[in-house]
């Protein structure tokens, strides 16, 4: 009995530490998942699965025993969110056969609003996954080019050109949206 | 300098990263050009404005309260299964209400997760499959990611590295000509055993191939788990597991190559 109690206290303490480190980043996780999945329903599923995965791998997180900065915890969690997006996307691609078909299936864009700021999100939703990913890593996660290169496993020059191309497309798309609404 | 190249430089400049990606002469020419060129200055402002707009927009929307509650419930249930479900701290033990509630949550999570994991049958193969997948994800996820103990594309560096660390000699082959370049290896633990983990590349992807002695000859059998492709086979007295986010047919091809080239 004493052993059982100790195990439970350890488990409680572990989940307490996990919640304390990871729950403050829920909004950031949701924002990243929303941009990558392009719809709120999938984003919620991804975030929930990501937290479950994160809990499973928590013991492997360097900061699990304490001493992790807010930034480290956030970066660790967001990496898992991104991986979860990626594998959930692969699952739906396996079902839907092709990327193009999958994109239409999931295009259900974030709701249209009068707010000018929404158009950037709509424009981002038009870009292919690889382009959205670098924009999210840079603008929402705030990673350096070197960190992005590691995250997507590509040379730093690819990060630069992919971001530049994504921005040009965004710029034109926002222009299009503004023109068509007047 | 091409127009496209100039946009790349402007974009990197807007991120404060130009020094990382461009030559000093490119940096100097851009910095000299900017103050004299209104369109470029406007473009720079646009890039920065788009980033600000996206951040504002993303931060304006918080996670739904229902999601927060669902995650809290999921975490609680996951911990309840990790420890023993009946002895929840600070609650009366064996209270029927608590028991029923805990059982319901555990069941719900089990159903939700079980569908994707193919259920926990508790057999040795199942344990190995789950541990292999955990090890694969752990080797790649987060800033504690640890893919290599020995990072080398040279099989004559990687193979000797294992001697003395394992009680068997793993198959280490360079499959670069077949499109699976060797990247390195490490010792890992699966099912309580020290095993060899070899890492191969496939385009932008990483493949972990685990190997340890045992089992009787079996043909490759694949499965999808949490979106990862996994392939399991036994050849020449060795158990193999390959796992990655590549296409399942890529793993089949890798398995064929390992079997033909290593023995």
Helix or strand run (H / E) with residue B229:
strand B228-235
Contacts of B58 in chain A (CB under 8 A): 31, 34-35, 121, 140
Class of domain A111-182: mainly alpha
Bin B118: left if φ > 0, else alpha if -120 < ψ < 50, else beta. Answer: left
Tens of pLDDT, residue by residue over B138-165, are 888 765 567 888 888 888 888 888 888 8
Tens of pLDDT, residue by residue over B48-75, are 999 999 999 888 889 999 999 999 888 8
Contact A86, B245 (CB under 8 A): yes
Let me know if the fold of A1-108 is the same as that of A111-182.
no
Class of domain A1-108: mainly alpha
Chain A nearest-CA residue for B74? A52
Chain A nearest-CA residue for B88? A8
ipTM: 0.77
Q: Does B47 touch chain A (CB under 8 A)?
A: yes
pLDDT > 50? residue B194: yes
Average pLDDT, chain B: 80
Contact between chains at A145 and B20 (C-beta distance less than 8 A) = yes
- The half-sphere exposure of B181 on its side-chain side, counting CA atoms within 13 A, is 9
Residue identified by tokens 């929930």 is A48
Residue B83: pLDDT band (50, 70, 90) is low
- Map out the domains of chain A as residue ranges: 1-108, 111-182
B186 φ, ψ (degrees, to nearest 5): -155, 165
Question: Which residues fall within 8 angstroms of residue B37, CB to CB, at 6 or more apart?
Answer: none
At A118 the pLDDT is: 44
Q: Does A140 touch chain B (CB under 8 A)?
A: yes
pTM for the model stands at: 0.54
Classify burial at A162, counting beta carbons within 10 Å of its beta carbon; exposed 0-12, middle 13-18, buried 19 or more: buried
Of 3.40.50.1370, 3.40.50.720, 3.30.230.10, 3.30.200.100, which CATH number belongs to B124-262? 3.30.200.100
Residue B261: pLDDT band (50, 70, 90) is confident
Residues 109-128 (B) with a CB less than 8 A from some CB of A: 113
In tens digits, chain A (182 residues) has pLDDT values of 454 455 555 666 788 889 989 999 999 999 999 999 988 899 999 999 999 999 988 888 877 776 778 888 999 999 999 999 988 887 776 654 333 333 433 444 444 444 444 478 889 999 999 999 999 999 999 999 999 999 999 999 999 999 999 999 999 888 765 555 44
Cα–Cα distance for residue pair B131/B151, rounded to 1 Å: 23
- Map out the domains of chain B as residue ranges: 3-60, 65-117, 124-262
């Amino acid at each position: 009995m004493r052993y059982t109690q100790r195990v439970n206290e350890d488990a409680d303490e572990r989940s307490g530490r996990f919640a304390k480190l990871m729950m403050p980043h829920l909004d950031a996780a949701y924002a990243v998942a929303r941009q990558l999945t392009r719809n709120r329903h999938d984003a919620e599923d991804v975030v929930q699965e990501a937290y479950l995965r994160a809990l499973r791998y928590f013991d492997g997180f360097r900061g699990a025993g304490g001493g992790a900065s807010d930034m480290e915890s956030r970066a660790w969690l967001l990496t898992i969110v991104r991986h979860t997006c990626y594998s959930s996307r692969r699952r739906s691609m396996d079902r839907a056969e092709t990327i193009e078909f999958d994109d239409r299936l999931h295009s259900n864009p974030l709701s249209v609003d009068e707010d000018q700021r929404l158009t950037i999100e709509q424009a981002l939703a038009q870009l292919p996954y690889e382009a959205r990913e670098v924009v999210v890593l840079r603008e929402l996660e705030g990673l350096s080019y070197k960190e992005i290169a590691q995250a997507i496993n590509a040379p730093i020059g690819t990060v630069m050109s992919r971001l530049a191309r994504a921005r040009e497309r965004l710029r034109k798309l926002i222009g299009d949206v503004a023109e068509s609404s007047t | 300098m091409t127009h496209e190249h100039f946009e790349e430089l402007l974009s990197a400049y807007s991120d404060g990263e130009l020094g990382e990606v461009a030559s000093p002469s490119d940096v100097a020419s851009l910095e000299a050009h900017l103050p004299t060129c209104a369109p470029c200055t406007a473009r720079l402002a646009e890039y920065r404005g788009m980033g600000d707009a996206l951040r504002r927009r993303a931060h304006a929307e918080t996670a739904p309260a229902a999601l927060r509650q669902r995650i809290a419930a999921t975490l609680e249930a996951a911990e309840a299964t990790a420890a023993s479900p009946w002895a929840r701290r600070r609650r009366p033990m064996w209270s029927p209400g608590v028991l029923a509630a805990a059982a319901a949550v555990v069941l719900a999570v089990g159903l939700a997760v079980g569908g994707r994991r193919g259920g926990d049958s508790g057999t040795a193969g199942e344990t190995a499959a789950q541990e292999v997948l955990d090890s694969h994800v752990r080797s790649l996820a987060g800033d504690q990611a640890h893919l290599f103990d020995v990072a080398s594309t040279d099989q004559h560096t990687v193979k000797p590295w294992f001697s003395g660390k394992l009680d068997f000699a793993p198959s280490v082959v360079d499959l670069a000509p077949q499109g699976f370049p060797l990247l390195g290896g490490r010792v890992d633990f699966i099912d309580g055993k020290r095993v060899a983990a070899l890492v191969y590349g496939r385009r932008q992807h990483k493949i972990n191939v685990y190997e340890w002695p045992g089992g009787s000859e079996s043909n490759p059998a694949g499965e999808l788990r949490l979106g990862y492709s996994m392939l399991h086979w036994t050849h020449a007295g060795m158990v193999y597991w390959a796992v990655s986010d590549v296409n399942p047919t890529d793993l089949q091809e890798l398995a064929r190559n390992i079997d033909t080239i290593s023995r």
